[in-house]
């Protein structure tokens, strides 16, 4: 039998790259689902928020990657 209690979850950095995008996407979905706006305006708002958040996460991960490699 395998001893599962002694095994640790070992995640590498490249396995966690998708995590910030999932968190940002779920937050965008949560905040926009509570709004009582026109569907067309809500769609444009989702597109703008998601583009901005993708750029912010991309720049922050680039900044953190540069600090860890130096």
Q: Is residue 3, in this structure, part of any structural domain at all?
A: no
Q: Is residue 4, in this structure, part of any structural domain at all?
A: no
Q: Is residue 9, in this structure, part of any structural domain at all?
A: no
Is there a contact between 42 and 9 (Cβ–Cβ < 8 Å)?
no
The total number of structural domains that make up the chain: 1
What pLDDT sits at residue 4? Answer: 59
What pLDDT sits at residue 68? Answer: 58
What pLDDT sits at residue 11? Answer: 62
Is there a contact between 28 and 56 (Cβ–Cβ < 8 Å)?
no
What pLDDT sits at residue 6? Answer: 59
What pLDDT sits at residue 2? Answer: 57
Q: Is residue 44, in this structure, part of any structural domain at all?
A: yes
Tens digits of residue pLDDT in 3-59: 656 556 666 666 677 788 888 888 888 888 888 888 888 888 888 888 888 888 888
Residue 12 has φ and ψ, to the nearest 5°, of -95, 165
Q: Is residue 48, in this structure, part of any structural domain at all?
A: yes
Q: Is residue 63, in this structure, part of any structural domain at all?
A: yes
Q: Is residue 1, in this structure, part of any structural domain at all?
A: no
């Amino acid at each position: 039998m395998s001893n599962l209690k002694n095994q640790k979850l070992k995640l590498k950095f490249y396995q966690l790259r998708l995590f910030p995008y999932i968190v940002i996407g779920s937050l965008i979905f949560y905040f926009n689902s509570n709004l009582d706006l026109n569907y067309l305006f809500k769609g444009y708002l989702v597109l703008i928020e998601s583009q901005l958040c993708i750029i912010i996460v991309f720049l922050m991960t680039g900044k953190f990657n540069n600090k860890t490699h130096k």
